Every structure is written in structure tokens, then in C-alpha cells.
Structure 1
């Protein structure tokens, strides 16, 4: 993974740590995400509706971004099928935005999906979540048809992209 010139420098005081989806910091950050989405749209998905086991390795991963020891961001990836991974619950606290944490979390989750053999990755965000839309577009995501039944297309924006997949021998090595 390389730093892009436009990307803020990564702080040696920032790290990503895998955690359970039910970890206290994960729950706190997801409640903050839910409050923010409710403020924008008047409603939001309940993060507890997603089964925690969806993010258990080897078929998923949930990470927390810590800056100076404080949990300030999170995100998860889960396999929907053998070829498709989904990004869920991406969030960076308002006080920590602008440091490249969202991009760093996203790159980490994409790498995990690729290492797991996924050839495509999908996600949903809201049309009024301008920061997320910018992040995802800059990372190569494009609009795609909704993959979640019953979504309000005036609110929800489905996005996706193709992933580079390691060769089979590398993938088997990475799964050990």
C-alpha cells in the first residue's frame, strides 16, 4: 500500500485493530454513525440488525481505527458469496476526519476481501453523505444497481468495484 501525494501523512499514533463486531468501541462508534445518519435522513438502519458473526474471520473482518489510543473510526467487510464482499459500517468520528483514516480503513478492508478471493466489492451509502461518496469515488467505486431488496433509491446509493485477486497459491498461503 502506498501513500498518494494528496493523502495526508499517516500518523505513527494511528493504528487499525481487528475487533469483534460486538466490541464496546465498535458499538459506540456504530451508535455515533446511526445518530449522524438519523440527523441527515431522519432515520437510519439499526447496526444491531446485522448478525455479529457476519464479521467473524475467515469470512469477515471488523476493524477499529485508534488515534493516540482513542477509537475514532470503524468499518467491516463480509463475504456475501464466493465472489462478492460487502463493506459495512464505515465511520470516522467528525473530530478525526481529514486525516485519511477513512481511506486507510477502506484499503485495509478491500485487501482483506481480495485476500479472501472476492473479485468484486459492494457497499451502500446515502446520496447526502457527500464525504463518503467522495471517498468511495476516489477509491474507484461506481454506481451500480441496488443489491438490497426494498431500498429507497432516492436515499440509498449502491456502489461497487472490481478487486485485484491474488493467484490461488497466494490466496491459500494467506488463509493459513
Structure 2
């Protein structure tokens, strides 16, 4: 898989985000309504990545900087959003590769910790994050009060 930086509004990013929204509807009954400003995903305080297989977009992932307030966010945090792999490309390690690239680019941008939210209807995502060294953290954000939401974090830089 060839992973490329694209703009939040790039046609391939938009296509994959529309597909992940359909996945949320299938699994949870509605789209993800978390507020997201496209400017949050522009360097240097954010990044949107698309993975290509034979020039076909098959995976996405993004991060946006969060620097407080504590205890929810700490200086140097990034939040991962829009992790997705198209159904026909699942089971080939693309989500793990995308997550690793998100972490690598966050460190390169001087960020220190990754945080994210997922849900109980995404057991494969929970397994990916746990097996990649993510631990449970306190709830935050738009879905912070929903019992099916799960929150994870991982330190990227150790003092």
C-alpha cells in the first residue's frame, strides 16, 4: 500500500469518509456527528492520509492536534480520526500500516501522544489499538457520555 498525504477535501479522502460514514450507519444506526473543521487536518497541526493499492484508494486515517485542556488533552496530543479500510482490502494489514504512519508523522511533527475514540461495534478496531500498545483513557469529546464509546491513548515520545 502506498500512503500519501492529501487534503481533507481531496476527492479520494471525501470518497473514503463517505464510505466510513455508511459503515457507522450500518454498525451504530447513524453517522458520526463529531465536529471536524477541514483546517484542523492541514499541516503542521494535522494531516490526512490515504492509502492506495494500484492507485485505488483503499484506506484512510488522519490526525489533528489537541493541546489541552488537561486532563482530557495534554500539550503535544493528536487525535486520530477517520481510520478506515474498504471492505475488499480488509485483513491485509492496511489499518496497522496506516496507524503506524499516523504515529510516525505525528512524532515527526513534534507531537507526543495519540488519543482516539472508537466503539463497541468496532471490535476489530479495538483489537488493533490494543495490540498496537494503546491503553484505555478517560472519555472525551462529542460521544464522551455514550456507554458504547471506548477511548484509547498511546505515548509516542518518552521523556
TM-score, structure 1 as length reference? 0.81
Residues 1:63 and 2:56 aligned together: no
What is the CA–CA distance in structure 1 between the aligned matches of 2:126 and 2:8, rounded to whole Å? 24
Partner residue of 1:26? Answer: 13
SS in 2 for 1:44: coil
Partner residue of 2:107? Answer: 114
Task: Spell out, residue by residue over 1:49-97, the C-alpha distance to the aligned partner (whole angstroms, 9 max, x if none).
Answer: 4111111111111010000110011010111114111111000001001
Cα gap change, 1:15 to 1:122, in 2 (>3 Å): same
How far off its partner does 1:149 sit?
4.9
Query: Which of the numbers 101, 105, 126 marks the counterpart of 2:98?
Result: 105
What is the CA–CA distance in structure 2 between the aligned matches of 1:112 and 1:106, rounded to whole Å? 10
Gaps of at least 5 residues in structure 2 are 68-74
Task: Spell out, residue by residue over 1:21-76, the C-alpha distance to the aligned partner (whole angstroms, 9 max, x if none).
Answer: 001111111111011111111112147x4111111111111010000110011010
Partner residue of 1:7? Answer: none
What is the CA–CA distance in structure 1 between the aligned matches of 2:8 and 2:121, rounded to whole Å? 26
Aligned pair count? 152
How far off its partner does 1:115 sit?
1.8
Task: Give me the CA root mean square deviation.
Answer: 1.6
For the 8 Å contact 1:34–1:46, the answer to whether it is kept is no
Gaps of at least 5 residues in structure 1 are 1-13, 168-176
Partner residue of 1:35? Answer: 22
Select the structure of larger CA radius of gyration: 1
TM-score, structure 2 as length reference? 0.89
For the 8 Å contact 2:139–2:145, the answer to whether it is kept is no
Query: Which of the numbers 5, 16, 19 marks the counterpart of 2:3?
Result: 16
